[in-house]
Amino acid sequence: MFLAGLVTVNITLLIGVIIAYVYRKDAAPWLQDHYRFLIRTFWIGSLYFCIAFVLSLILIGYLLWPLLAVWLGVRCVLGWMAVRKGQPPARPGSWLW
């Protein structure tokens, strides 16, 4: 749902974070780390989005939009690869990857 947010103007991303909040308490410990990772991805991405938006007003932020998309894509792929292995994300508390 997070990756689909790149196409759906973040609507599925919002649905995904709500699902993560709902299911994180009942999940297995290694899966709780994934939910934490997804929730942090949403809030950190929201912060980066606001920064890029404000900087877009002075034309600098237009360079940040592709970087924000790449950042979201990399975080989602790394998290997905860890889930497939049945492991928690390597660094669930990181701000980058």
Q: What is the pLDDT of residues 41-90, one digit of tens each?
A: 999 999 999 999 999 998 888 889 999 999 999 999 999 999 999 998 88
Neighbours of 88 (CB within 10 A): 19
Question: The pTM is what?
Answer: 0.86
Domain borders along the chain are 3-85
Task: Give pLDDT, residue 31.
Answer: 92
Judged against a pLDDT cut of 90, whether residue 25 lies above it is answered with yes
C-alpha–C-alpha distance, residues 75 and 44, integer Å? 11
